[in-house]
Every structure is written in C-alpha cells, then in structure tokens.
Amino acid sequence: MANDIQNIINKTELNLQDLSQLLNLEGEEQKLLFRKAEEVQLKYVGNKVYYRGLIEFSNVCSKNCYYCGIRKDNKNVERYNISDDDIVNAAVFAWKNRYASIVIQGGERSDNHFVNRIDHLIKRIKEATNAEIGITLSLGEQTKETYQKWFNSGAHRYLLRIESSTKELYEQIHPKDELHHFNTRLNCLHLLRKIGYQTGTGVMIGLPGQTFDDLARDLLFMKEFDIDMCGMGPYIEHKDTPLYKERHKLWHIGKRFNTALNMIAVLRILMKDINIAAATALQAIDPMGREKALKHGANVIMPNITPTLNRKNYQLYENKPCIDEGAEDCGNCMNMRIELANREVGLGQWGDSKHYFNRTNP
Ligand code: SAM
Ligand code: SF4
C-alpha cells in the first residue's frame, strides 16, 4: 500500500482519483505525502515564511453566507467598524515590525461610501509606510471598476475563496438569491486576474456533505484556474448560522483538520511555486495547527494585528484563537512558532507569489 502511495506521489500528472486517495491519508502513508510536500516546498519556494499582518477591520456585512458567524442576519453579533486612523496605525505597526505586507479583510459591502473609503485607506497606508508595505485585500465580490480602482491605488493581491468549486455544494451553503451567485464569484476571480492582481482563492474543508472527490475537484479547479495564492482551512461550525443544523453530517473535527493538512500538502505538490497560507482556522482545532501546515506546504502566515478590543466580534466560527492577544504578543508568538517549524521568517520582504511572475499568460 505504501508503495502505491509513493507511486502516486511521484506521478507527473495527478488525476481526480489520485488526488482523492491522497486526501484521505493518515499515519505512515500520510508521512510519505508530507515528506514529498516539504521537499517540493523547499525546492520551489524555499524555507522562508512570509508575514501578512491581518486587519479584520469591520464585521459589518451585507451578505448571508450560511456558514459565517458575521453574516448580516446574525443579530447576536455586536457590529464594529475600526476607525481609519486605527487601521493606518495597524498598518504602520506591521511596517515597523518588518512584516512587509498586510491583509485588509472584512465583511462584504459594495456601497459607494465603502468603496471610496477603502480606496482612500489604501492610499493613506501607502503614504504612511513610504510605499513599502504590500497590500492584500479580502473584501469579497466587487465590480470590475472597484477592483481596478483599488488596484490603481496600490493593492496588488486579492483573496476571494471559491468556498467550493462544486456548484451544487456552493449553492447549498449560500442563499439562493442575486447576492450569492456561483457564477458571479467565478467571474470576480477572472476579473481580478485580468486586472493584474496576484489572485488567491481557497475553499472550506469538511463542509456538511462534502466528499473527498469534491475536494479533489477543488484542487483541480485551482490548477486549471492557475491561481497565484491559496488560503484554505477547515470549516468550523458556528451555532448562530443556518448551516449549524447540518452538523450531524460533519466529519469529526480531527478528520477535518487532517484533511486540511492533506489539502495543503497535495496542493503544494500540484502547484509548486504558488503561495499557500496556513489558515487561522487550523489553530482553532490544534494549537500547533498552523506550524504543521508550514512544515508541509504552506509558506505564508497571517499574524492578527487587529486592535484587540474588536477581535472577539470577528468570530466566523467557534473557538477562534488569539482573540485576547495584542499585536505585539501575536508577533512574538508567531516568530517562535515559525522557528519551531524549522522555517525562517522572511522579514522585510513582500514574499510575492513566485507563480505570478513565472506564469506567462495574463
Ligand atoms: N467577506 C469576505 C469574503 O467572504 O470573501 C472576507 C471575509 S470572510 C469572513 C473570509 C473567509 O472566512 C471566507 O472566505 C470563508 O471561507 C471563511 N469562513 C467564514 N465562515 C467560516 C467558518 N464557519 N469556518 C471556516 N471558515 C469560515
Ligand atoms: Fe460576509 Fe464574507 Fe461572512 Fe459571507 S463569508 S457572510 S461575505 S463576511
């Protein structure tokens, strides 16, 4: 059996069945997969891990994704919106601590006020950091004009998870209305790429009813779309969301975690030079979850630099880690964790996706 796995791992082309089989590995066979992923990681992207200081600047959202704790209709959340000055200060904190990049993430809004506010913020952050900080946005679906505007102002990476590339599953975890359309999501990913962003996507792993084949198709989707970056992690239920009633269908949390690590390792083998983030949700399950991902494929980590007071209200799922820590604690803790994973922090470097520069087509 171990021989079979070794043969699959060494193939030049992995098909759906191969991928599905790899995603299900445990024990000794999983170690073979992890060893290969680490080998590819060290060869193609090196042993550096890059920081993206994460600013979860607002939990106000106009959408109602069935899985998300900050969905519009959840009345049990205290809504917040961090001031512009606090956001700029957080970015300056990241810059001074040589994080080199930030991620601006929040609930999705597309009104003019919001679009212009973000635009203004991007410019202010660039100005306050001598144009040295790299800016990734994670602000959901927007129009082509909005994406272009933010790109022109200085954002150069964008993260928009496809959540699941299986259309039927996507439709099961979102309301059936104009605001939540699979084709719109796909179209947004194409727009981002066309505009010139380093384009990132990802999925949730272990959704109710999701199969290994669905996840294998997600990996093939990423390969075919030719993404530059990926952020994916386990789905974790939240009691104030509609998807909670489907929890009887869930895999055990350990299996979701294990499969998430396998997804990262397999994706590293499949797309050798992309950036892969070690998602925070991994740490919600295992205190060493993100370090494990860094050992076997992931090369980006997102220390939370959101002002502490607001963190408790950005609970996408239960047991979200580090909600009581300040940005300084987060950074120190992170340095230690990366050393434990036998990796080096790429301080002061943007750590852009190598794939973005290696790919020839726009
Ligand atoms: N609103 C933007 C968007 O949806 O792209 C950015 C913020 S959203 C909270 C970021 C990601 O959180 C989503 O893409 C989703 O995959 C993830 N997420 C939401 N609820 C989750 C849950 N219950 N478990 C795991 N991840 C979750
Ligand atoms: Fe809003 Fe994003 Fe949560 Fe969906 S996943 S409800 S768009 S914050």
Q: Give residues (CB < 6 A) around ligand 2.
A: 61, 63, 65, 68, 70-71, 107-108, 140
Distance of CA 98 to CAs 79, 91, 93, 114, Å? 31, 11, 9, 28
Q: Which of 267, 269, 284 is nearest to 323 (CA)?
A: 284
Average pLDDT over residues 98-111: 97
Q: Convert the pLDDT of each residue in 128-150 to its tens digit.
A: 999 999 999 999 999 999 999 99
Q: Whose CA is closest to atom 8 on ligand 2? A: 107
Nearest residue (CA) to ligand 1, atom 20: 68
Predicted pLDDT of residue 329: 66
Fold of 2-360: TIM Barrel (3.20.20)
H-type alpha helices, 154-298: 167-172, 182-195, 212-225, 253-270, 280-285, 289-295
Given a cut of 90, is residue 327 above it in pLDDT? no
CB distance 38 to ligand 1 below 6 Å: no
Q: Does the CB atom of residue 320 touch ligand 1 within 6 A? A: no
Across the chain, mean pLDDT equals 94
Residue 350's pLDDT is 95
CA 274 to ligand 2 centroid distance, Å: 25
Residue nearest to atom 12 of ligand 1 (CA): 316
Residue 198 pairs in a beta bridge with: 157
pLDDT value at residue 81: 94
Rounded to whole angstroms, how far apart are CA atoms 115 and 212?
A: 38
Shortest CA distance to 141 belongs to which of 155, 166, 158?
158
The Cα 194–Cα 192 span in angstroms is: 5
Ligand 1 in reach of 138 Cβ (< 6 A): yes
The reply, when asked if residue 322 is annotated as ligand binding, is no
Question: In the predicted model, what is the mean pLDDT of residues 32-38?
Answer: 97
Distance CA 239, CA 150 (A): 35
pLDDT mean over 245-259: 97
- When pLDDT is averaged across residues 301-317 and rounded to a whole number, the result is 82
Q: Is 68 annotated as a binding residue?
A: yes
124 annotated as ligand-binding? no
Domain ranges of the chain: 2-360
State if pTM tops 0.85.
yes
C-alpha 221 to ligand 1 mean position (Å)? 19
Q: What is the dihedral of CA 209, 213, 219, 221, to 10 degrees?
A: -90
Ligand 1 mean position, distance from CA 59 (Å): 11
pLDDT of residue 339: 83
Q: Would you say 193 is a known binding-site residue?
A: no
pLDDT tens digits for range 108-124: 999 999 999 999 999 99
Whether residue 68 has its Cβ less than 6 Å from ligand 1: yes
Q: Which of 18-22, 76-80, 181-185, 316-320 has the lowest mean pLDDT?
A: 316-320
Reported as a pLDDT band with limits 50, 70 and 90, residue 361 is: low
pLDDT of residue 270: 97
Residue 138 CA: nearest ligand 1 atom is 6
Taking the centre of ligand 1 as the mean of its atom positions, its distance from the CA of residue 233, in whole angstroms, is 10
Give the contacts of 96 (CB within 8 A, at least 6 positions apart): none
